[in-house]
Structure 1
């Protein structure tokens, strides 16, 4: 049975002993382990059921620590670090030779970020090293945004969960590649927008479709409830009266026989509440979950990405 704590020192001691920790961040809770401890990193893959081909992000206490893990850090990378760290931005950079290729999935690049959560930063400062911290869930299931979600995912473990409240952002970080012989490239959408990043870079971001670099969260099915889930633009009116169907609305929803949640039509608030709403509706054990799609506006790109991986499109 998982254990809860609010003590960063206890959390740090657990990590130094080579054990795992559920770490709160502003994006989602991460399953943290010492990035220099091969045995601890292997425990992350084993507990999550995560394939070795899926790389991990290393979390740091400060931008200054990036040079311990990455080489050839360009001026462009430094500008992004200064502008957005701590925060929900992951940078993919050339990896030092000593960085375990079990973390990078065999690649010569490493993904780094500095989280913007006070408890996470306190643990990282006390630990004084890098932590791998993929989402604290079973592989491809809904990412956790509070301690209770983590406990639900790993109810049969003795995992220590550092309770830092609800995640403020609620979706995984934006990932940008800054590798030699390539232009800056967006590899994963997040709530930090391409426009914000381009303004600091002074360059246009390429999109990741042609990139050979593997990063987390790119499987076609991901972040998915166990309940069969469908997303729609046009409301399937005939289904509104089915009490075995749950509904997730963007803005004001229609009357339904089954349970429903509205997350509103403001992108940041919707993103912050999305995974919690999916956990709540998925836990009801109903026949189907129906999700209303937001508008196609740029501010919703990360939400659309997660919904596309979590559900099928209703024709």
Structure 2
């Protein structure tokens, strides 16, 4: 069974020995391994059930380490690092030749992030290098935002989990690609909205390029095991069923089944979303209904996750 720990030094020792440790970040908990040890990196793919064609993000203690991983750091990348690191932003840059292509999924680019969570910072400082740390969950299931979620995901393993409390941001980082001979691209939406990123870069961000692979892009992802439907117009007939659960966005209506209302403020909603999905998914319901938030840039990252976690009802 998993071991939940608060011993940062012990977890760093385990990572140096090629073992896996689940670590907290401000976004979600990550399944960490030494990014310089291919055998450890392969354990991450195996434990998650994640395809090796899906690249991993390398987590660093500070921007000063970027040159150890990136062959080039364009001016736009430096501006983003100065503005948003440590924080929920991942940058895709040209990879140095010595960066393992097991980490980059065979691509000549590497994804880098400096997390803001104090426990993540303490672990990275004690470890002294880069850690891959994709979300600490089974592939395509709900991302974990607490140590208990990780333990639930890997209940049959002896994984060590470094407990840093609940995640404050709650959704995965924004991913921006800044590669030579290509336009700046927003590969994954996070709670740093596109307008703020573009203001710092001084240029528009285009969408994902067809050949460039990035984490979190599968059409089904972040999903409960309970069949889940997202709606704008409430399916009133389902309100009478005790076997239907509800996740509301400030518009809760009386229901016979269990319900949670996360409110209509985007940051607070995002911070609670995955925990709410874990709570409702554990109840053995027949169906889960999610009220869709407003269509606005502030909710863009939430809409992205809900589109991958559910089917649209209307």
Relative to the length of structure 2, the TM-score reads 0.99
Residue equivalent to 1:204: 204
Residue equivalent to 1:246: 245
Name the SS for the 1:246 alignment partner: strand
Instruction: Tell me how large the CA RMSD over aligned residues is.
Output: 0.6
Residue equivalent to 1:34: 34
Residue equivalent to 1:257: 256
Residue equivalent to 1:295: 294
Name the SS for the 1:181 alignment partner: coil
Aligned equivalents of 1:212, 1:233: Cα separation in 2? 34
Name the SS for the 2:240 alignment partner: coil
Flag as ranges the 4+ runs of structure 1 deviating above 4 A.
none
Aligned equivalents of 1:118, 1:72: Cα separation in 2? 28
1:252 deviates by: 3.3
1:100-152 CA distances to partner (integer Å, 9 max, x unpaired)? Answer: 11111110000000001001011101111000000000000000000000000
The alignment of Structure 1 onto Structure 2 pairs a total of residues equal to 314
Relative to the length of structure 1, the TM-score reads 0.99
Does the alignment pair 1:186 with 2:186?
A: yes
Residue equivalent to 1:58: 58
Name the SS for the 2:92 alignment partner: strand
Aligned equivalents of 2:196, 2:166: Cα separation in 1? 25
Aligned equivalents of 1:192, 1:132: Cα separation in 2? 21
1:202 deviates by: 1.0
After superposition, where does 1:105-120 map in structure 2 within 5 Å? 105-120=105-120
Does the alignment pair 1:283 with 2:276?
A: no
1:183 deviates by: 1.4
1:246-291 CA distances to partner (integer Å, 9 max, x unpaired)? Answer: 0000003000000000000000000000000000000000100000
Name the SS for the 2:187 alignment partner: strand
Does the alignment pair 1:169 with 2:169?
A: yes
Residue equivalent to 1:22: 22
Does the alignment pair 1:128 with 2:102?
A: no
Does the alignment pair 1:312 with 2:288?
A: no
After superposition, where does 1:140-151 map in structure 2 within 5 Å? 140-151=140-151
Name the SS for the 2:4 alignment partner: strand
Aligned equivalents of 1:105, 1:17: Cα separation in 2? 23
Aligned equivalents of 2:58, 2:83: Cα separation in 1? 19
Residue equivalent to 2:222: 223
Aligned equivalents of 1:218, 1:182: Cα separation in 2? 20
Does the alignment pair 1:268 with 2:267?
A: yes
Aligned equivalents of 1:153, 1:8: Cα separation in 2? 22
Aligned equivalents of 1:232, 1:165: Cα separation in 2? 31
1:59-94 CA distances to partner (integer Å, 9 max, x unpaired)? Answer: 000001010000111111111111111000000000
1:211 deviates by: 4.0
Name the SS for the 1:207 alignment partner: coil
Aligned equivalents of 2:180, 2:69: Cα separation in 1? 16
Q: Where does the alignment leave 5 or more consecutive residues of structure 2 unmatched?
A: none
